[in-house]
Amino acid sequence: MEALKSIIGSRIIAISRGNYGEDLIFAARALYEGGVRAFEVTFEQDKPEALTADSIAQLAESLPDDAVIGAGTVMNAEQVRIAHEAGASFIISPNTCREVIETTKRLGMVSIPGAMTPTEIAEAYSLGADIVKLFPAGVLGIEYFKAVRAPLKHIPLAAVAGITAENIKAFSDAGAAAYGISSSLFIKKAIKDRDAEAIKKAAEAFYAAINN
């Protein structure tokens, strides 16, 4: 599956929450220049789903072909279908939901549900998840990540929420397959100021930390 290869290759999934239109495209292009190839546009559960769908479609048109676009905070099968129709190639959720995972796989997309405990992680994987999102990884901490992964090495884990340039190396060394990063990449002030260089450098700093 090409989308899965792209996510694993990029390692960083840049999470856009509440960015739309020109702001989203501007920031995503700068992140692409900084090396990011995987982009998540979240559903805001209190806003029209069309906002997310339109943003996914716009990003797919605006970024080079090797960029992969997915939907985040996907809470039900209908949102999976909306994202798929908009051009999403992966689905990310904060929780493990059988309906979401099964619909995602049936539509040929990469499934990345969220989980916290070993039971939840194993259940998500058994339902067909390609990667399981350990959430919230930064709050749980690197020692928790290591302890959980020890008996579950066969399950690819993404570390999401609270990942910084200071701790990403530790998660990398512990075997994280990918990382979800939001406000540290979609930097509000830099977007407002149209400071593409600041956004690009933020992405480069994360990759430098991983490879250090």
Q: What are the pLDDT digits (tens) for 44-65?
A: 999 999 999 999 999 999 999 9
The pTM of this model reads: 0.96
Nearest-angstrom CA–CA distance, 117 and 166? 24
DSSP classification of residue 155? S
Contact present, 133 and 115 (Cβ < 8 Å): yes
Please, is 7 exposed, middle or buried when counting C-beta atoms within 10 Å of its C-beta (0-12, 13-18, 19+)? buried
Q: Given a cut of 80, is residue 204 above it in pLDDT?
A: yes
Q: In what order do the strands lie in the sheet with 132-134?
A: 110-112, 90-92, 68-72, 38-42, 12-16, 178-181, 157-160, 132-134, 114-115
Domains of the chain, by residue range, sit at 2-211
Share of the chain above pLDDT 70, in %: 100
Topology classification of domain 2-211: TIM Barrel (3.20.20)
CB atoms within 10 A of CB 145: 20
Q: Given a cut of 90, is residue 212 above it in pLDDT?
A: no
Tell me the average pLDDT of the chain: 97
Residue 164: its pLDDT value, please?
97
Q: What are the pLDDT digits (tens) for 69-120?
A: 999 999 999 999 999 999 999 999 999 999 999 999 999 999 999 999 999 9
Q: What are the pLDDT digits (tens) for 167-200?
A: 999 999 999 999 999 999 999 999 999 999 999 9
Residue 44: its pLDDT value, please?
95
Contact present, 205 and 165 (Cβ < 8 Å): yes
Q: Given a cut of 80, is residue 1 above it in pLDDT?
A: no
Residue 51: its pLDDT value, please?
95
